[in-house]
Amino acid sequence: MKKFFKMRMNTATALFLILYAVYFVQLMITKQWDAVPMVGIFGLILLAFFLGCRPYGYDVEKRTVTIKYYLWKNKEVDLMQCEVICDPVSRWADIATRPHAIEIYTNTKKRYCFFPKKRVEFVDAIIKENKRIHCTVKEYTDVHRKSEKRRRRENKREDRENAEK
């Protein structure tokens, strides 16, 4: 079954684009007409890059994850070649910009970063497609452990009731 997940917008990118637009409007208000065309064209290039060449969503189906782009060719990741799905490994360059990432590592130690809005549902879809993948995503394991404990408790209760009868 095909599942689509929207990508979470990077806060730093959104803030940068908003401040760049404010700078462009400020240039127009102060009537600095010599800089307006250059700043406007560069702003359109930045907008096309950040919104068109960056992923906008992920499709999970048939043991693959397809990373969807508006302007680029879509990229496929074979989940059967993946070993680990985990929370982001902290790197100094990425501490402020990617707190909501999910990383998937392949057999060859290649890293893929995903930024879905619904993290638990995304991890659940990945695990349903590849049952052998090792999951260490904290949000998912917390939810999964609670449901497993509840299921085990109910099974014990049923076993006791059946034994008493």
Average pLDDT on 19-45 reads 92
Question: Is the separation of the CB atoms in 72 and 53 below 8 Å?
Answer: yes
The answer, yes or no, to whether residue 12 has pLDDT greater than 60, is yes
For residue 61, list its beta bridge partners.
64
Residue 95: the pLDDT is 57
The CATH number of the structural domain formed by 3-164 is: 2.30.29
DSSP 83-146: EEEESPPP-TTTTTT-TT-EEEEETT--EEEE-BSSHHHHHHHHHHH-TT-EEE-HHHHHHHHH
Query: Residue 117: phi, psi to the nearest 5?
Result: -70, -40
Average pLDDT on 114-119 reads 90
Residue 94: the pLDDT is 62
Residue 41: the pLDDT is 94
The answer, yes or no, to whether residue 144 has pLDDT greater than 80, is no
The C-alpha atoms of residue 71 and residue 54 are separated, in whole angstroms, by: 8
Confidence bin at 72 (pLDDT 50/70/90): confident
List, for residues 87-105, the tens digit of each pLDDT value.
887 766 665 556 678 899 9
The answer, yes or no, to whether residue 5 has pLDDT greater than 90, is yes
